[in-house]
């Protein structure tokens, strides 16, 4: 009986360790472009901000609570989104859906579209 409890604790520890403390990030890049350098600017547009015209959609990011997430503030998720945007050649990060922390989750949950824009 004691051995079973130790084994279950060991398995639970491994599962928690593997899932980490980061939010779950899912991505779908349908049209990646050349990587941007770290000094190139990436604009942030919130839900209510309009998009400019003549954009190339690069892909979609979804940030969700993994159940053990701690580094999931709005600013932290935006920084992660900007890193992913640069890796895939996007210079606009557009939040399309935003759920604030609530009783069920201490994290922001975001859906973000990534775009490339070559205008002014």
User: What are 23-59's pLDDT values in tens digits?
Assistant: 788 899 999 999 999 999 999 999 999 999 999 999 9
Domain of residue 61, residue span: 21-117
Chain centroid, CA 76 distance in Å:
9
The verdict on residue 104 lying in a domain is: yes
* Domains identified in the chain, total number: 1
Is residue 117 predicted with pLDDT exceeding 90?
Answer: yes
Q: Is residue 54 part of a domain?
A: yes
In a domain, residue 13? The reply is: no
- Domain-embedded: residue 12: no
Confirm whether 55 is domain-assigned: yes
Q: What per-residue confidence (pLDDT) applies to 84?
A: 96
pTM for this predicted structure:
0.78
pLDDT per residue as tens digits for the range 6-24: 666 656 555 554 445 567 8
Distance CA 95, CA 46 (A): 5
Q: pLDDT over 90 for what percent of the chain?
A: 62
- Strand ranges, E, within the chain: 24-29, 43-45, 55-64, 92-99, 109-117
């Amino acid at each position: 009986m004691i051995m079973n409890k130790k084994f279950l604790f060991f398995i639970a520890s491994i599962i928690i360790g593997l899932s980490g403390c980061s939010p779950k990030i899912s991505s779908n890049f349908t049209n990646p472009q050349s990587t941007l350098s770290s000094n190139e600017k990436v604009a942030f547009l919130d839900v209510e901000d309009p998009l400019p015209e003549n954009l190339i959609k690069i892909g979609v990011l979804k940030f969700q609570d993994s159940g053990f997430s701690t580094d999931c503030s709005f600013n932290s998720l935006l920084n992660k989104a900007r890193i992913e945007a640069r890796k895939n050649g996007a210079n606009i990060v557009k939040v399309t859906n935003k759920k604030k922390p609530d009783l069920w989750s201490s994290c922001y949950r975001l859906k973000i579209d990534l775009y490339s824009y070559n205008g002014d």
